[in-house]
Structure 1
């Protein structure tokens, strides 16, 4: 019988299938209690053609415009799955590009960037052209990393992906030279930073800096108890302190730099962890911690004071975590400026697991 491409074809090969009593329903007996039935090939003609294709990569093939016009484009199909709703963010996360970021003193610094680019997607559209997120960014990869560069990127995202909202976030470690406390040495402290720019129809362009600032927190309670043991019983005791982190997010106006946020953090907390340390530096750090005892509540309030008085900062959020050396748990605190429609004190889901320092 001729096959039309969809009708199952009987294969000439035969398969032995065991029947409990050695007989088929029609009583036909097979060899040794087996019945002989034909094997059925249920593949279609199109499926067999695909199966028979050569698995060869043609290094000489060059697609012509006419050929590319025949290629399927699933993003532009109207067949959506799930509920047809607007998606706030869709794009690419963690693609890597080396760039030079402009520094406060007018120079530039080479950094290795991890980039997240997203746009909104209207309810009637199936998807975005993901490659345009990366291709658009690469139009600016030789530009210095500045607020204006990021604004240009998100504007291009709106145009190239026909979206109403766009966002770019660039993460990197920013090196700044830190002098030791007393020995005269110096070493590079690396600050995890994210530069973010977003544009939306209702809020326009917004610019953010996110910074992780690592410091030491010596417990005021533990210090007083240690002194009490020293004075009343002549017993040596050491107050507990621990490495701590403040995750600071600021929305800023033009003219605000990463270095400015680091300076504010250093001035507010005083006890930043050290890079280069000799004995005299270690002693100095012990004295510095004693002079700047702080609970996690103190840490966020000190940072609030420093951030709130800088007129270039429109809004901010502070999340502090003290990795307690006395306890088997962390102490955390969140504080926001309180701008209507701005940052909120919501605890991000990552908080429920662990806060890396």
Structure 2
């Protein structure tokens, strides 16, 4: 019965028909499972949004359209097992091989989801909470069989302005000087007197800080087995030192304040810390955004980084980066 159903996608186009760079589907909702880290056996289940497509050459023998159900079938097969980089590349190969009659030779997939990781409290024993990270995985193949793979993640953290901190310290110092001139006990103070004074007046000025977000995208080797999402997040949070917290009691909040005080950061500082942490990757693209509490606008820094070895190879080949 199905053999008699019309298949208009197989119709041939005129020899002058245009080639299309990408034809496929976007915003496909699908459940996926994956290991958040290379060393963990725990499987995370996520609700993902997927874009997937292939090219459609024009010219002599060009087809009117592709069979999108074949792409969807390849995607369903990929989703039946924990998500790995080899499984993603196999899915892309299936998308191309299933369209040999269309002469397609390249494919691309983007997978976006929110990953939840259990993060411990800074000090409170046996306390933890769930932190969410927006993740995007991208992969593509070309006519020569080459593959490119990248991982993107958003990491939220706290940033305290170095200038504001310096101004606050200066204001506190001046406030203490004026107070000591009016109070003989402060003029020749002992540590306990100063300590008590600071408890009462130490917040005469406070530096401004804000929730901030680092958006990082790194390139992976197609030979890798894992996407290494958890490891990437750990590297970024370790470099910044002030990731936003989940479970917080007063002791944890004080510990967080101490971390902020020890890690004063402009967007430039945060960007350079992250770039230092990503030195093991081939290429990286970062965007750091501080949602200013002083201003109504955001402070932003962006950078594209490429490993020196790759930069030298590109220079030899005459390519520009």
TM-score range, shorter chain: 0.7 to 0.9
Equivalences, count: 273
1:119 aligns with 2:60: no
Deviant stretches of 4+, over 6 Å = none
For 2:137, the equivalent position in structure 1 comes to 195
1:159 aligns with 2:97: yes
The answer to whether the 8 A contact 2:9-2:67 is kept is no
The answer to whether the 8 A contact 1:192-1:211 is kept is yes
For 2:200, the equivalent position in structure 1 comes to none
**Equivalent residue for 2:268, pick from 297, 301, 321:** 297
In the TM superposition, what are the counterparts of 1:42-81 in structure 2 within 5 Å? 64-68=1-5, 71=6, 73-74=8-9, 76-78=11-13
Deviations 1:326-352 (A, max 9, x none): 1111111111213557xx99xxxxxxx
Gaps of 5+ in 1: 1-63, 346-357
* Residue 128 of structure 1, CA deviation: 2.3
- The root-mean-square deviation of aligned C-alpha atoms, in Å, is 2.2
Measure the CA separation in 1 of the matches of 2:259 and 2:106: 47
**Equivalent residue for 1:317, pick from 285, 296, 300:** 285
In the TM superposition, what are the counterparts of 1:326-337 in structure 2 within 5 Å? 326-337=294-305
1:86 aligns with 2:24: no
In the TM superposition, what are the counterparts of 1:231-270 in structure 2 within 5 Å? 231-234=173-176, 236-253=204-221, 254=224, 257-270=228-241
Measure the CA separation in 2 of the matches of 1:171 and 1:318: 18
Structure possessing the higher relative contact order (Cα contacts under 8 Å, 6 or more residues apart): 2
Deviations 1:1-39 (A, max 9, x none): xxxxxxxxxxxxxxxxxxxxxxxxxxxxxxxxxxxxxxx
Measure the CA separation in 2 of the matches of 1:66 and 1:332: 58
Which protein has the bigger helix share? 2
Gaps of 5+ in 2: 177-202, 315-319
TM-score, normalising length from structure 2? 0.79
Give the secondary-structure state (helix, strand or coil) at the position aligned to 2:156: strand
Change (3 A) 1:202 1:324: farther
In the TM superposition, what are the counterparts of 1:162-177 in structure 2 within 5 Å? 162=100, 163-177=104-118
Give the secondary-structure state (helix, strand or coil) at the position aligned to 1:294: coil
Measure the CA separation in 2 of the matches of 1:176 and 1:334: 26
The answer to whether the 8 A contact 2:84-2:227 is kept is no
In the TM superposition, what are the counterparts of 1:209-224 in structure 2 within 5 Å? 209-224=151-166
Measure the CA separation in 1 of the matches of 2:53 and 2:14: 22
The answer to whether the 8 A contact 1:153-1:168 is kept is no
* Residue 207 of structure 1, CA deviation: 1.7
Deviations 1:228-282 (A, max 9, x none): 1111134711111111111101111315511110111011111100111111111
Structure showing greater radius of gyration is: 1
1:182 aligns with 2:115: no
Give the secondary-structure state (helix, strand or coil) at the position aligned to 1:321: strand
Measure the CA separation in 1 of the matches of 2:299 and 2:18: 40
